[in-house]
């Protein structure tokens, strides 16, 4: 941490954020995780207690040094000070009764609509309830996303992501919180840059199979089933639980409906459409034309600036949409300060925008989720070819916003320096 070495073994169980952030980051540099998740300084006396004054040479060699900077006059620390000045000095918001009601109501609606999808006679009402089930699945995924970052974290909310996407929550915490968040769009560190058989970035070697990857995104309707096979069965992680979730919450209509046609229809509207929308909402925030401009990380760059340049928001104007996404439309604020609640991220958005403008950095935001998905699919089409014009023209300098042709990329609300600058 900040070029100092610590043995936090004895502190893992006492860590206020739970044991996983520490146990899953053993033997690594945790500077980015530490600075982004702690909204106020940790007492020096606490850190000093675990500091290793003379680490073993082998340990030093094994831990790759942090190649980001957190300079006091840099973008991230200045933005953090402005956010703290708003009173955001604590991480995850306290659990409120309205939030408990939201979680309870969504989970109840999910179970009720799923019962209808599985057992009630097919008709307009059941089809409408299948759409409601799709919506509640996306809501539960959003709630699970918040839980993985610490909000209302209990056994049930921790399981929501596994229930809906069949991805073990402990494993997703490792990939999402510990690896993706600190190192967005860095192919060697960010697991979200790899999703076989697709090519999500130029660092993935091109093959002819990628030519049709944009329209083949439709196969993501089976994302949860593939995830169960990969994460639960192949990796032998909670196989019994994963199999139960698969059959009880994803495949049950194939055993209860009168015909396979009914099962395919209702499962497609509920499970399939939820899978597709969830994955696309995750991907549009990073896998797009504008963020690809800054995917080439420069060693020694400001960590917060890197997060800003490699993340995109989309406007969620409908309350129902915001309930679905669970912070996905606020990826810039969420990546800078992942422990803040969704409500607090909405509050700090103008501050982050102004700070980006003051530093001459672009702030990428789609006008809607539909525009974001269109931009993502267009970028996937660009990546489908070995010679990708948009990526070959990427300038090396950080902060450069080069307008490209094609469907709209996220609008940058702050002017960026020109290549000549």
Q: How confident is the model at residue 157 (pLDDT cuts 50, 70, 90)?
A: very high
Per-residue model confidence as pLDDT tens digits over 182-208 = 999 998 899 999 998 899 998 899 999
Per-residue model confidence as pLDDT tens digits over 84-97 = 999 887 666 567 88
Average pLDDT for 147-162? 89
Q: Which residues pair with 51 in a beta bridge?
A: 6
Supply 290's token pair: 């504008």
Given the structure tokens 């070697």, which residue do they identify?
A: 205
> CA 202 → CA 194, 242, 383, 386, 400, distances in Å?
11, 33, 7, 9, 19
pLDDT at 210 over 80: yes
Q: Which residues pair with 6 in a beta bridge?
A: 51
Percent of the chain with pLDDT over 70: 87
Distance CA 394, CA 248 (A): 47
3-state secondary structure of 113: helix
End-to-end CA distance of the chain: 34
Average pLDDT for 263-277? 97
Per-residue model confidence as pLDDT tens digits over 243-260 = 999 999 999 999 999 999
Residue 43 is predicted with a pLDDT of: 65
Q: How confident is the model at residue 385 (pLDDT cuts 50, 70, 90)?
A: confident
Average pLDDT for 337-363? 92
What mean pLDDT, rounded, does the chain reach? Answer: 86
pLDDT at 154 over 60: yes
């Amino acid at each position: 941490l900040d070029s100092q070495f610590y043995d936090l073994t004895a502190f893992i169980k006492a860590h206020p954020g739970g044991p996983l952030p520490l146990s899953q980051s053993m033997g690594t540099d945790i500077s980015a995780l530490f600075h982004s998740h702690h909204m106020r300084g940790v007492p020096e006396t606490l850190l000093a207690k675990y500091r290793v004054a003379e680490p073993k040479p082998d340990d030093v060699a094994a831990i790759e040094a942090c190649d980001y900077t957190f300079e006091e006059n840099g973008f991230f620390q200045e933005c953090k000070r402005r956010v703290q000045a708003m009173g955001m000095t604590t991480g995850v918001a306290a659990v409120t009764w309205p939030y408990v009601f939201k979680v309870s109501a969504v989970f109840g609606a999910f179970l009720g609509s799923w019962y209808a999808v599985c057992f009630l006679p097919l008709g307009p009402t059941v089809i409408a309830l299948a759409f409601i089930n799709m919506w509640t699945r996306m809501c539960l995924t959003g709630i699970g996303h918040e839980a993985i970052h610490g909000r209302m974290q209990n056994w049930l909310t921790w399981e929501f992501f596994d229930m809906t996407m069949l991805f073990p929550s402990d494993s997703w915490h490792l990939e999402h919180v510990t690896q993706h968040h600190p190192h967005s769009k860095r192919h060697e560190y960010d697991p979200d840059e790899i999703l076989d058989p697709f090519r999500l970035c130029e660092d993935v070697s091109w093959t002819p199979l990628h030519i049709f990857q944009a329209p083949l995104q439709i196969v993501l309707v089976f994302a949860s089933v593939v995830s169960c096979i990969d994460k639960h069965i192949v990796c032998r992680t909670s196989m019994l639980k994963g199999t139960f979730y698969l059959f009880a919450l994803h495949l049950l209509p194939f055993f209860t409906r009168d015909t396979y046609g009914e099962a395919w229809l209702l499962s497609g509207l509920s499970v399939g459409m939820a899978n597709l929308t969830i994955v696309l909402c995750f991907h549009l925030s990073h896998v797009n034309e504008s963020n690809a401009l800054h995917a080439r990380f420069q060693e020694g760059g400001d960590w917060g600036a890197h997060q800003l340049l490699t993340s995109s928001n989309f406007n969620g104007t409908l309350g129902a949409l915001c309930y679905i996404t669970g912070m996905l439309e606020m990826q810039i604020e969420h990546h800078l300060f992942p422990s803040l609640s969704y409500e607090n991220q909405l509050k700090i958005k103008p501050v982050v925008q102004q700070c980006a403008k003051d530093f001459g950095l672009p702030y990428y935001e789609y006008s809607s989720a539909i525009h974001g998905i269109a931009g993502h699919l267009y970028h996937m089409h660009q990546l489908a070819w070995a010679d990708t014009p948009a990526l070959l023209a990427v300038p090396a300098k950080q902060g450069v916003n080069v307008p490209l042709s094609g469907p709209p990329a996220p609008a940058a609300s702050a002017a960026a320096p020109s290549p000549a600058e």
